[in-house]
Amino acid sequence: MYICLTQRILIMKRAQLEELLKWKDSPRRKPLIIRGARQVGKTWLIKEFGASA
């Protein structure tokens, strides 16, 4: 059960990272605000985005 949950989280984070990459490549992008509850991966997401961009 734990492994499945971890894999789902990684898939969701990967999907969010793909959305950020689409946003970066968009010619009509607007300022970005990352919001969410505590400890859901906002900082991780931005760090990964910065490393991959």
Q: What is the pTM of this model?
A: 0.71
pLDDT of residue 7: 60
**Cβ burial, residue 36 (10 Å; 0-12/13-18/19+):** exposed
Per-residue pLDDT reduced to its tens digit, 1-53:
334 445 666 677 788 888 889 999 999 999 988 888 888 888 888 888 898 87
Range of the domain at 38: 2-52
pLDDT of residue 8: 63
Q: In whole angstroms, how far apart are CA 39 and each of 7, 35, 42, 51?
A: 17, 11, 7, 20
Number of domains forming the structure of the chain:
1
As a whole number of angstroms, the distance between CA 20 and CA 51 comes to: 12
pLDDT of residue 2: 39
